[in-house]
Amino acid sequence: MRISARRRLPAAIAAVAVGIGAATVAVLAPGSDASAASGCQVAYRVNQWSGGFVAYVDVTAGTSPVHGWTVTWTYSAGQQITSSWSAQVSQSGSAVTATSMSYNADLAAGATTEFGVQGTSGASNPVPTDLAVTGSGCAGTGTPSTTPSPSRSASPSPTPSRSASVSPTPSRSPSPSPTVTPPTSPPPAGCGSATVCDGFENQAAGTPSGDWAISYPNCSGSSTATIDTTTAHSGGKSLRVNGAAGYCNHIFVGPTRSLTGIGPVWYARFYVRHTTALPAAHVAFAAMRDAADGGNDLRMGGQNGALQWNRQSDDATLPEQSPTGVSLSVPLPTNQWTCVEFMVNGTAGTMQTWVNGTDVAGLHEDGTPTQDVDRQWLSRANWRPQLTDFRLGWEAYGDGADTLWYDDVALGATRIGC
C-alpha cells in the first residue's frame, strides 16, 4: 500500500498540471518517508497570466478519514490573494492559511476535495514550496516534504492573451446571444406600476439629480457618473459611468426615493451596455445595502470573466468561483445593450438572475446547496436579506476599469421583464 501511495504522486501531478502557464507542486504531509502513506496529501496547481493567477489546491486524505483540515503555504514573490472558494482563506504577509468549510471538512480515506484562490502577482509567480496540510486524521508529526514541481517549470510563463486567463471556463459559451430586442416603445416600457421605473429622460445632462443621486460609500476617486444624452437604450438619455480600477475609485448612482414599499421580495430590471469585458479580477456594478447583514452590500458584478453575485460581509460568491461554477454563469456582452433582471427573496432567502430573459443557472440560489453553484452562499445559515437601497455604478477591488451605460431601470415586487 505504501508503495502504491508513493507511486500515485507523480501520476497525480501529471493529472493536475493543466494548460499553458500552469505549474504544479505537490507534497506529502506530514513526513516524506513511509509514514507518508498514512498521511494527507496536498497538491497546488496554478493557471497564471500577466499580473494574476488562479490556483487550485487538492487535499487528499491518507489511509484514515479526515475530520477538518488546514493547508498552509508561503508566497515568495509578493503574490496577494484576492478571493477564494471552498475554504476559509486568510493571508498575513506572505503566509497563507486555508481551513476547511463545514461541507468539505470530512474526507473519507483516500478522498480528495478541492478549493481555490485567485490572486495578483508580480513579474514572477513561483509556486509555493512549503505546502503543508494538517488535520484530524492526517497522522504524523514530521516536517512536510515538498516534492519539487517535476519538469514543469515553476517560473511563470504568462499566458499571452486575456482569453487564456479565463481558461477555468472552457465550456462557457463564448458569446451569449445578443438577442435584446431593439426598443420599440417609449421608455421604459412595461414598468409603470413598479416602485422605480425610470429611463433618465427627466434628467438634465450632467450630474444626476432629483430622483437619482451619486454616492461614494467609503472613499472617492477618479470615477465619474453623468447623464449622457448621446447614448440610450430607449429615449435619448442614459446614465454613464466611467469606472476606474481600485476600490476607492468606486462610484454609484441610485434612486433617492424610498424603496421600502417594495416589500421583502425585490425584482429588478435594468439595461446595461459596457465597453470592457468583465476581468478575471472581482468587480461589481450593482450594490444593495442589506439591513439584515449589518448594512453590508449585496453585490452583482463579475469575476473570472463571468457574472457573479458577491456578499460583502463574508465574500461568498454565487456561483462558486470553481471552473465548473464559473462555466455555469455567462459573460456580460460588450458594446451592446443587455437586459439584466434579478429577484431577491428576503422571505425565502433565494435569488434568481436572468440575462436577456434567460435564467442563468450559476446565478440561481434556490435554497438547496449545490456544489459549484450556491453551496458557498448557503454556508451561511438563514440568509434573509432586507434590502434598503439600490445602486448602479462601478466598484473594482483590484484590476478592472470599464465604461458603462445604464438605462430603463425598474424595481418592483413582481417581475418586470425586458
What is the CA 33 to chain-centroid distance, rounded? 39
C-alpha–C-alpha distance, residues 174 and 331, integer Å: 8
Stretch that binds Ca ion, among 72-80, 215-223, 261-269, 400-408 (CB under 5 A): 400-408
CB-nearer residue toward Ca ion: 26 or 232: 232
Q: Does 417 interact with Ca ion (rule: CB under 5 A)?
A: no
Stretch that binds Ca ion, among 59-67, 233-241, 272-280, 348-356 (CB under 5 A): 233-241
Contact yes or no for 171/310 (Cβ under 8 A): no
CB-nearer residue toward Ca ion: 199 or 349: 199
User: H helices within 273-413, ranges in order?
Assistant: 323-327
* Per-residue exposure over 112-151, b if at least 16 CB sit within 10 Å of its own CB, e if not: ebbbbbbbbbeeebbbbbebbbbbebbbbeeebebbebee
Q: How many residues bind Ca ion (CB under 5 A)?
A: 7
Stretch that binds Ca ion, among 37-45, 146-154, 166-174, 224-232 (CB under 5 A): 224-232
C-alpha–C-alpha distance, residues 67 and 142, integer Å: 19
What residues does 402 pair with on adjacent strands? 243
Q: Does 341 interact with Ca ion (rule: CB under 5 A)?
A: no
> Within a 13 Å sphere around the CA of 246, how many CA atoms are in the beta-carbon half?
8
Stretch that binds Ca ion, among 231-239, 319-327, 329-337, 361-369 (CB under 5 A): 231-239
Position with the least CB separation from Ca ion: 199
By three-state DSSP, how is residue 9 classified? helix
CA triplet 199, 292, 302: central angle to 5 degrees? Answer: 50
C-alpha–C-alpha distance, residues 301 and 295, integer Å: 18
Q: Does 259 interact with Ca ion (rule: CB under 5 A)?
A: no
CB-nearer residue toward Ca ion: 201 or 366: 201
Choose which of 142, 150, 235, 264 interacts with Ca ion (CB under 5 A). Answer: 235
CB-nearer residue toward Ca ion: 56 or 200: 200
Q: Does 229 interact with Ca ion (rule: CB under 5 A)?
A: no
Stretch that binds Ca ion, among 1-9, 39-47, 191-199, 287-295 (CB under 5 A): 191-199
User: Positive or negative, the Cα torsion across 163, 402, 278, 198?
Assistant: negative
The site map against Ca ion for 131-170 (x = CB under 5 A) is: ----------------------------------------
What is the CA 401 to chain-centroid distance, rounded? 16
CB of 210 to Ca ion, least distance (A): 15
Q: Does 187 interact with Ca ion (rule: CB under 5 A)?
A: yes
Q: Does 407 interact with Ca ion (rule: CB under 5 A)?
A: yes
Q: Hey, which residues between 265 and 294 contact Ca ion (CB under 5 A)?
A: none
Q: What share of the chain is helix, strand, coil (3-state, %, to 5)?
A: 10, 40, 50
CB of 302 to Ca ion, least distance (A): 24
Q: Does 232 interact with Ca ion (rule: CB under 5 A)?
A: yes
Residues that bind Ca ion (CB under 5 A): 187, 199-200, 232, 235, 237, 407
